């Protein structure tokens, strides 16, 4: 009996889902290259600041990357779009994050920082409180 179009399509979908799962798994594997100064900046700031990761990434992949890079230990929590159901820069994403961080100071807003390593002109969609050229500059802002 010849497989029907529906059966072939279902097999294609299953194979596609398997490949996506493998892709996501491998995306978190390998050498996690850090920006220059990342480990030092995280170490310094974690002594005086509460630190969180907010990302549009996939939960499992982001946790795996942070652990492999050695940065995971510096962060109190990870907020990702997969878990929250909204992506940055949607207000709902940030409202969720703010409501889950018990820090009254955050209620007045969140400062943002653009790391512009190449000195390019700021695109219109990037609106940040601070612009720095390397991570070490964060220590003078904080």
Mind giving me the DSSP string for 98-115? Answer: HHHS--GGGGG----EEE
Tokens 């170490």 label which residue? 43
Task: Look up the pTM and report it.
Answer: 0.67
Q: What is the reported pLDDT for 10?
A: 53
Q: What is the reported pLDDT for 19?
A: 56
Phi, psi dihedrals of residue 115, rounded to the nearest 5°:
-90, 100
- The CATH number for 85's domain is 3.40.50.1000
Q: What is the reported pLDDT for 104?
A: 46
Task: Count how many domains the chain has.
Answer: 1
Q: What is the reported pLDDT for 34?
A: 83
Tokens 């978190």 label which residue? 28
Q: What is the reported pLDDT for 72?
A: 95
Q: Is residue 20 part of a domain?
A: no
Question: For residue 87, what are the domain limits?
Answer: 38-141
Q: What is the reported pLDDT for 60?
A: 85
Q: Is residue 12 part of a domain?
A: no
Query: In which residue ranges of the chain is pLDDT below 70?
Result: 1-32, 102-109, 125-126
């Amino acid at each position: 009996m010849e497989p029907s179009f529906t059966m072939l399509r279902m097999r294609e979908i299953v194979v596609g889902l398997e490949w996506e799962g493998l892709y996501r798994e491998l995306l978190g594997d390998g050498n996690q290259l850090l920006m220059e100064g990342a480990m030092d900046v995280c170490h310094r700031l974690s002594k005086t600041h509460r630190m969180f990761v907010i990302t549009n990434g996939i939960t499992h992949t982001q946790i795996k990357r942070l652990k492999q890079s050695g940065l995971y230990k510096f962060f109190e929590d990870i907020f990702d779009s997969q878990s929250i159901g909204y992506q940055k820069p949607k207000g709902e994403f940030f409202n969720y994050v703010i409501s889950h961080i018990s820090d009254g100071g955050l209620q007045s807003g969140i400062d943002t920082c653009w790391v512009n390593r190449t000195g390019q002109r700021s695109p219109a969609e990037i609106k940040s409180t601070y612009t720095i050229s390397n991570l070490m500059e964060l220590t003078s802002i904080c």
